[in-house]
């Protein structure tokens, strides 16, 4: 059985345990730092408004990928001053789960993701973002890593 939790990426060097818990994320564990000034935490569950609450409490950009048994990734991101967006990873597999793909338009997500990255002080690669959002992989985590690289949070592609 694959991952059913989530991966939370936050631009911060501060201890995030308190803000993450108050925002409704459970069982947060440090999963490393993909780039200077960024942290990744693995979480078991999150509240519906968890990303927005965490952005509000930290004043930092946040990106959450919630996994459906490692098959599909639901992306939710927000930044201070707006810039919230959603996307879906592993669309072909999502279709097998009867997830309505029309609720996750790719081109809107590509533009919103690039704007989010720029607002976060990153240099996004829109073609790579599109590849992450339209690609397929055995594990959705592979596409999440590609997305972070596309946004400029993590090196490599």
Does the model's pTM come out above 0.85?
A: yes
5 in Cβ contact with 66 (< 8 Å): yes
Contacts of 117 (CB under 8 A, 6+ apart): 123, 124, 151, 152, 153
Gap between the Cα atoms of 88 and 108, Å rounded: 12
Mean pLDDT of the chain: 92
User: Residue 81's pLDDT band (boundaries 50, 70, 90)?
Assistant: confident
User: Residue 1's pLDDT band (boundaries 50, 70, 90)?
Assistant: very low
141 in Cβ contact with 73 (< 8 Å): yes
pLDDT, tens digit, for every residue of 47-65? 788 999 999 999 999 999 9
């Amino acid at each position: 059985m694959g991952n059913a939790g989530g991966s939370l990426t936050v631009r911060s060097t501060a201890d995030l345990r308190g803000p993450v818990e108050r925002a409704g994320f459970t069982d947060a564990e440090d999963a490393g730092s993909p780039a200077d000034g960024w942290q990744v935490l693995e979480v078991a569950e999150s509240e519906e408004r968890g990303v927005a609450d965490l952005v509000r409490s930290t004043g930092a950009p946040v990106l959450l990928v919630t996994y459906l048994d490692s098959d599909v990734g639901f992306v939710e991101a927000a930044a201070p001053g707006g810039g919230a967006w959603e996307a879906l990873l592993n669309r072909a597999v999502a279709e097998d789960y009867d997830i309505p793909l029309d609720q996750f338009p790719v081109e809107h997500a590509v533009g919103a993701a690039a704007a989010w990255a720029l607002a976060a002080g990153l240099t996004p690669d829109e073609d790579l973002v599109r590849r992450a959002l339209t690609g397929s992989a055995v594990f959705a985590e592979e596409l999440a890593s590609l997305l972070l690289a596309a946004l400029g949070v993590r090196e490599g592609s």
